Every structure is written in structure tokens, then in C-alpha cells.
Amino acid sequence: MRFDAFRRNKAFLSLAIAMIIVFAGVAYQSVFGESGAADLSSTQPLASSASSADTVSSVTYAPFGPTTIADIAERVSKSVVTIEAVPKTTQRTPTRQWPFVDDPILDPFFFFFGIDPYGRQNPEDYTTSSGTGFIFTEDGYILTNYHVVSGNRTIKVTLADGTEYEAQIVRSMQNPDVAVLKIEPGDKQLVPVKLGQSKNVRPGEWTIAIGNPLNLGITVTAGIVSATHRGDDPKARQMFGMSSVQVPPTGFIQTDAAINPGNSGGPLLNLNGEVIGINTAMAVDGQNVGFAIPIDAISDLLPRLMTKSRGGYLGVGVYTIDSEYASRLGVSAGAIVDVVYEGSPAAEAGLQRWDAIVRIGDDEIRTADDLVFTISSHQPGDEVEVVFVRDKTLKAVKVKLAEAPSQ
């Protein structure tokens, strides 16, 4: 009896264990799939949540997996180019301009005080600079930074497969720091990268930077968006060592993806492999603090950047109003006119020194950079309304813009 009971209990236990194993196997299969690894494609990103009330971003990203960044890098690298800007003017053998020839005592004295006994010009005028760019049309238009190609230089572009071209500068702008180049690909089929949107980018989202740091060749780094709208006020520019950088009105996208000299002009990508920014600057006193121009600051300008026109010209020199002077004028922000150039549209319209420009058309002007960006985004011949404060009185004039002088 006891043996029969034991056998019945054992059979029941075996059946229970078998059922548990089968159930666990089904559950495992439904979660992990046949390979035994987690199927990340079943995971829904936050941005595509079913509840519209909880949706913060309108961008839907592809599922993230172990090879996502590698796959994007492999695909987009075909659109990324390295750029060499070679000076057209070569430095002649210097002639000593001081009476002492190769004097070991006096030469250090001169150099200590910043005097070159040979009277040489700025060495940067004779130095080849390198940077990055990316193809955005099939017929060979390339985006990069203005500072990568500025000056009297021959521009050499190298594709990912090693093919080299001489590029022409179609148009460049100091603010935003952007230039459009053109190569003639002939029968070669180019692979353009897709331009995304930056308006919905949020801190914490993954980013990928592709560039040519230190002229090493195409390099991939990854990180996150650290902040948006960074550097759009003087305090932030000073804090991050960016006081000499032209900050777009929208500010920069800040990222901790490594950006180094040579990365300038390269794409900052989202997890769809779309360009959300142009890598432009890095903090000189920090690590992993890089900055990219939001692509939205460029996209609307592209039709004009792809023409030979140099953009609109107002003809004033300006600087950003400080808070003390702004309060005296009764404005919150603006650009103070420091000089009005003779014969310029501004002079013909009657603008004067110390006028505080606060608006161009529908665009609010809070900084000098805002004014430069807004005017240069217009075409020569465009008529714009310039709203300014003079003697605490708000005034407005119509100005017909001229063509900007060559840079």
C-alpha cells in the first residue's frame, strides 16, 4: 500500500514538474525567441507610446540593440567625408628683418615678447587645416563648418572609399558657422545622409558623432544629448570657453559624445541615423563637453546656401546689449549698433550708432549673433522691417538689403 501510494505520488510529482517545464519553455520562447537572446525589436520606445498624453517627443526611433550604433555608423559613414583645406598662398623663405643674424641671445628675447625677428605672418595662414563634412544630396552638395574652409584655400574632399575630389565653396556663413561645398561626382553614385529634426531632441537621448578627429580618419563616437539651447547667452558662452564661437539663435546641442579638433563639420546623429546637428565646438576647459549646431537652424537656409548668393547685408557693426544698458533703454535684450557703414542699406535707412535693434520682421533679436543670422538668411533685395529703440522710443524703418561683401 505504502509503495503504491509512493508510486502514485511520484507519478503526480513527475507530471507536475513536466507541466512546469513546458509552461516555462513557452514563456521563455515568447520572451526571448529562438536564439535565447532578448528580442529588442519587441520593445517599444518611449517616444512611440500608445498614450498621446504621455508622448513627449514626436520622433519614433528604431529599436535599440547591441549592433544599433555599429549599423548606423556603417551606413552613414558612406556619406561622411574628410576635408583638407590647403592654403593657396605658400610662405616664402623668411628674410631676417633684424640686424642680428640668428642671435642665440636676442632671439629668445624677441620671441618672448611676441616679436618674430623674421617678420613672418600668422602661421595659420600657411597651415593646412582638416575637418569633416557630410553629403546631403546625390549630386554632390556637402555641409561642413565655415571655420573648416575659411580663407584663401583649395578644398580637397575624400570619400569613405578613398576617392578624392577638389570641392568648390558654394556659400559660407559665419553665423551659423556653416558652409556648403560642391563636388562633381561624375558617374559615381553618392550616398546622401538623411537630415532629421532637432526641435524635439531631449537631454538623455542617444547620439552618434562621426568625424575626422586629429586627422586620423573616419572615427565613430557615441554618447547622449547633455543639454539643448546651450550657449545662447553670454554667461554660458564664457562658462564653456565659447566666447569666440558664433552661437546660433537656437543655441547648441550639447553632447558628451567625444568631439575633438577635426570633428568640426561632421554629423551628430540620432538612433535613426538622421542628422540632428553639425559638430562644431568643444569646451576647452572640460572633457566630453561638445557642441553641435542644431540642424533646424540650417535646414531652412539650405536652398539659399546652395546658391552663389552671399545673403543679405544691412551694413552695421553691432554687439549684444548688456543687462545694465538694456534696463536704461527699457528693453530686455537686443543688438546695439556700434558703427553704420557709409553707403550701406542701414545708412540709407537712417540707422544711427547706439540704436538698439530688437526685431527684424517677425524675428526677435536678443543678441548680435541673432542679428547676423537673421540678416544673412535673407536674400539681397529683400525688404525687411527693422525695429529698434532710440532715446527710449520704439521706432521702425523699412530697409532693402544689399548683397553681403565677400568673406
SS (H, E, C) the chain: CHHHHHHHHHHHHHHHHHHHHHHHHHHHHHHHCCCCCCCHHHCCCHHHCCCHHHCCCCCCCCCCCCCHHHHHHHHHHHHEEEEEEEECCCCCCCCCCCCCCCCCCHHHHHHHCCCCCCCCCCHHHHCCEEEEEEECCCCCEEEECHHHHCCCEEEEEECCCCCEEEEEEEEEECCCCEEEEECCCCCCCCCCCCECCCCCCCCCCEEEEEECHHHCCCEEEEEEEEEEEECCCHHHHHHCCCCCCCCCCCCEEEECCCCCCCCCCCEEECCCCCEEEEEEEECCCCCCCEEEEECHHHHCCHHHHCCCCCCEECCEEEEECCHHHHHHHCCCCCEEEEEECCCCHHHHHCCCCCCEEEEECCEECCCHHHHHHHHHCCCCCCEEEEEEEECCEEEEEEEECEECCCC
Is 39 catalytic? The answer is no
Neighbours of 304 (CB within 10 A): 18
Is 177 catalytic? The answer is yes
What SS3 state is found at 174?
coil
Residue extent(s) of CATH 2.40.10.10 domains in the chain: 81-182, 206-305
Backbone angles phi and psi of 2, in degrees to 5: -65, -35
Burial class of residue 96 in the structure, from the number of CB atoms within 10 Å of its CB (0-12 exposed, 13-18 middle, 19+ buried): middle
Fold exhibited by the domain 206-305: Thrombin, subunit H (2.40.10)
Catalytic residue (one of 77, 130, 226, 264): 264
CA distance 44 to 50: 9
Q: Are strands 275-282 and 290-294 parallel, antiparallel or unpaired?
A: antiparallel
Residue extent(s) of CATH 2.30.42.10 domains in the chain: 312-403
Q: Are 337 and 318 in contact (CB under 8 A)?
A: yes
Q: Which one-letter amino acid corresponds to residue 327?
A: S
Per-residue pLDDT of the chain (407 residues; tens, 9 = 90+): 444 444 455 555 555 555 554 444 444 443 334 333 333 333 233 233 333 334 445 577 778 888 999 999 999 999 999 999 998 765 554 554 444 445 555 444 444 444 444 554 454 455 778 999 999 999 999 999 999 998 878 999 999 999 999 999 998 887 788 999 999 999 999 999 999 999 999 999 999 999 999 989 999 999 999 999 887 666 665 555 555 667 777 789 999 999 999 999 999 999 999 999 999 988 877 788 999 999 998 987 888 788 876 678 899 988 888 877 888 888 888 999 989 999 999 999 999 999 999 999 999 998 887 888 788 878 889 999 999 999 889 999 999 999 877 65
| 81 grid coordinates | 567625408
Catalytic residue (one of 79, 107, 147, 355): 147
| 283 grid coordinates | 569646451
Q: Are 137 and 131 in contact (CB under 8 A)?
A: no
Nearest to 395 by CA among 367, 354, 366, 339: 354
Alpha helical stretches, state H, 243-399: 296-299, 302-305, 323-329, 345-349, 368-376
**Rg (the chain; Cα; Å):** 29
Is 377 catalytic? The answer is no
Backbone angles phi and psi of 273, in degrees to 5: 75, 20
Catalytic residue (one of 79, 172, 177, 232): 177
Q: Are 149 and 88 in contact (CB under 8 A)?
A: no
Return the CATH architecture of domain 81-182.
Answer: Beta Barrel (2.40)
User: How many CA atoms within 13 Å lie on the side-chain side of 276?
Assistant: 26
Please give the full DSSP string across 34-49, using - where no structure is assigned.
TTSS--GGGPPPGGG-
For domain 312-403, say whether CATH 2.30.42.10 is its number: yes
